[in-house]
Amino acid sequence: MEIFKTKASLHAFLQPLKASAKKVALVPTMGALHSGHISLIKLAQQNADIIICSIFVNPTQFTDPKDLEKYPRPIEHDLAMLADAGCNGVFMPNVEEMYPGGADEAWHIDLGNAEFLLEGEFRKGHYQGVTQIVKKLFDAVEPDVAMFGQKDFQQVLMIKNMLAHFKLPIKIIVCPIIREDDGLAMSSRNIHLSPIDRKNSLVLSKSLQFVIDHFNEYPLVELEEKAKSFYNNIDGVELDYFTIANGDTLEPAKSKDEENLVALVAAKVGSTRLIDNMIIK
């Protein structure tokens, strides 16, 4: 497995492969890898010849500098996992390589109204930062396909909107959420959960599963209210939002007959903010 710290060295590696018609997949990550990321690598291998994983903790998508500082960076462990998974190359630039003029570089594109909903309400400007770095990574790799996890449902939507904005010919493949045996969605942030937080964190998947299991039983409003009531009286858990939304717009669903419905949740468990979702239909 090759390691690249500069766009130039990555380009030099990819150029001859592309010239010989090899299909390239990009798996963008911020490191602190877990089985969810490895499932992206595995799916990438089914869809391309060469797999490049990027590891870059992107400063422009963090709204809280403390969150950026405490973001886990177990790089040796990450590299071992990627080598083991058969990844071909890892792109791990530093901040100067991606933001030569500084991380306050101007960027603003129209991502549609969904940018301002859900995560957008709690993390102002987050998706501008995400799309800014993903565009830079796309420019550096020029992949045929790029892999993203369904866990960041809104992120996938924003990246698809960015792709449409720039008319980039890249296929986005979305991988299902990988869960621990007890239902907790895998996330790099889970390592911050104390034992009691870890137990409490199960409320996210349980409330979502409730919606899936009882979708045909209750009217929409009641279903959502019942799911929200899971969060009542759990010490150390603070619900940011629980919504049954239209999966294309992220606006609250108006009717159960809508085509593309998804339940999404965000909650602070101890000092760790977790998100999760389940696709209803």
Annotated binding site for ATP: 30-37, 149-152, 178, 186-189
Q: Which amino acid is at 50?
A: I
Phi and psi, residue 179, nearest 5°: -115, 155
Question: Which residue bears the tokens 């940018």?
Answer: 115
Q: Residues with catalytic annotation? A: 37
- Asked whether 276 and 177 are in contact (CB, 8 A), the reply is yes
Shortest distance (Å) from residue 31 CB to ligand PAF: 8
Shortest distance (Å) from residue 234 CB to ligand PAF: 27
Q: Annotated binding site, which residues? A: 30-37, 61, 149-152, 155, 178, 186-189
Distance CA 36, CA 159 (A): 19
Distance CA 44, CA 174 (A): 10
Interface with ligand PAF by CB under 6 A: which residues? 28-30, 58, 61, 130, 133-134, 152, 155
Closer to ligand PAF by Cβ: residue 14 or 30: 30
Shortest distance (Å) from residue 139 CB to ligand PAF: 14
Closer to ligand PAF by Cβ: residue 62 or 210: 62
DSSP H stretches of helix in 52-194? 65-70, 75-85, 95-98, 119-122, 126-141, 153-166
Closer to ligand PAF by Cβ: residue 3 or 68: 68
The three-state secondary structure class of 123 is coil
